[in-house]
Copies of this chain bind each other. A is one copy, B any other.
Amino acid sequence: MNILITNDDGWGTKGIITLTRLMLPFGKVYVLAPEGPRSGAAACISVQKPMYLTRIDNPGEGLEQAEVYVTNGTPADCIKLALNTLFDGDDSKIDLVVSGINHGSNASINVIYSGTIGACMVAAEHGIPAIGYSYCDHVPDIDLTEAEKYIPEITRHLLEEPMPYGICYNVNFPVGPIEGIQWTRQCRAHWEKEMEPHTDDDGRTYYTLVGTFVNHEPDAEDTDEYALAHHRISITPTTIDTTAYQLL
């Protein structure tokens, strides 16, 4: 198997290094990740901007078998770059895209802003199986001990059946002890109070993104948020088809 790994926190973060190590037993591992943080990149692509590709010669202890590259582009760019350079534009040469482990939740409405899942959606566009792994804590030194136990098993399980065209998996891990795995749907929610005002050195007002998460359906038992709140791993099958069929 040829496995392509990316993320949106950038190469060198604990999540992607852990994921790279976990994927090595599955086959030949290629990593192509942003050189720095790209949180909130969604499926943003670099239009009319030059993209560079740099090989990292010593990705670290235990990762010698992985081929690691970084780019100044976005997570979505990473998939397009890898496909069109490392794999000669041939979709069938990539058996699996794995994205993450993200430092922070990509459950509920966060999915539409997620660079982790944005990369998976590009893979799904190309019919390449893709899984995004996220851990619901965004500190740099996340404790992935519990998640590590489950990722190989979940990966094997999701690969057992062919993934339908245009679909990827959004897998989120709760913080703390894990009490199960649940198939889920995206919970309805929104963010409010998102702009924090500041004053710069010239006296000009600027804003930074903050916010309060508002769950619209905290009691619905089939959502990703419900699973996570009940110490379960949530697995949400996620589609690149944005059509609201109920209105047609």
Interface residues of A (CB under 8 A from B): 37, 39-53, 74, 76-77, 80-81, 83-85, 89, 109, 111-113, 117-118, 121, 125-127, 164-167, 170, 183, 185-186, 188, 190-195, 198, 200, 204-209, 222, 236-248
Contact = CB atoms under 8 A, between A and B. Distances in A.
A105 to B, nearest CB: 14
Nearest to A114: B43
A85 B196 CA distance: 10
Contacts of A183: 248
A208 B244 contact: no
Chain A interface, DSSP helix/strand/loop, else mixed: mixed
Contacts of A81: 195, 207
A39 B89 CA distance: 23
B85 A207 contact: yes
A185 B237 contact: no
B164 A204 contact: no
A43 B188 contact: no
B242 A84 contact: no
A89 B42 contact: no
A74 B209 CA distance: 12
B243 A185 contact: yes
Given A52-B206, A207-B81, A192 B244 contact: no
